[in-house]
Amino acid sequence: MKLLFDLFPVILFFVSFKYSEKNPELAASWVSSLLGSAAVDPKLAPILLATVVVMTATVAQISWVWFRHGKVSKILWVSLVLVLVFGGLTLVFQNESFIKWKLTILDWVFAGGMAFSTLIMKRNAIKSMLGEELKLPDIVWDKLNYSWIAFFFFMGILNLIVAFNFPTDVWVNFKTFGSMGLMLLFMLIQGVLLSKYLEEEK
């Protein structure tokens, strides 16, 4: 259930884009009304409407978290700022390039934050999050930490490759399914590699 809640904005982004693809004229009319713009290119309408939806959904998601728990994680705050900034630029300039950059910037913020924590603060970010649940040798924690830094950096590059070398609908599919699928695969591989340490601990 929590996973669905976390993916709530992404799911709505995908659904609204796919609906708008089939009804571009209607989507263009909606976006024009929302933005107070004289005209919106029907070809851009799907990504523009999806951008409005994901911005609204993210604000609603964080508002609910704040109302329910009284605090919001730093990751959600970063995601909110990025989606509002890059989404806002997408709508103002009616240019889909901005929202396509958002995923890359978010991945690189994660990679950069973890690298800063490791190299400057001498603190292993992954161990800080999972240290109470897992007991691993320090060298394994270090490898795990650097592998996540490399993964987020790679995903940022891969997003740009897909975003600017393939049609927008392909990028939307990648953002919704490909990106999440690769992360789950990466976690599965790590789980297999770490299983021997978990067995030794038992």
Arithmetic mean of pLDDT, 141-152: 94
Task: State residue 73's pLDDT score.
Answer: 87
Residue pointed to by tokens 């704040």: 66
Three-state DSSP class for 163?
helix
**CA-based Rg of the chain, rounded to a whole angstrom?**
19
Predicted confidence band at 200 (pLDDT cuts at 50, 70, 90)?
A: low
Task: State residue 138's pLDDT score.
Answer: 86
Residue pointed to by tokens 């649940």: 133
Backbone phi, then psi, for 119, in 5-degree steps? Answer: -85, -35
Q: How far apart are CA 158 and CA 152, in angstroms?
A: 10
Long-range Cβ pairs for the range 42-47 (8 Å, 24+): 44/94, 44/96, 45/20, 46/16, 46/17, 46/18, 46/20, 46/21, 46/168, 46/169, 47/17, 47/90, 47/96, 47/99, 47/168, 47/172
Tokens, residue 73: 């994680």
Q: How far apart are CA 164 and CA 136, in angstroms?
A: 40
Task: State residue 99's pLDDT score.
Answer: 97
List C-alpha distances in Å: 159 to 38, 98, 122, 129, 168. 32, 13, 29, 26, 12
Q: How far apart are CA 161 and CA 159, in angstroms?
A: 5
Task: State residue 1's pLDDT score.
Answer: 55
The whole-chain average pLDDT of the chain stands at 90
Least confident of 66-80, 99-113, 168-182: 66-80
Helices (H), ranges, 43-167: 45-69, 74-93, 97-119, 125-130, 138-165
Q: What is the model's pTM?
A: 0.88
Task: State residue 38's pLDDT score.
Answer: 67
Per residue in 19-67, pLDDT (tens digit) is 999 999 999 999 998 887 767 889 999 999 999 999 999 999 999 999 9
Task: State residue 169's pLDDT score.
Answer: 95
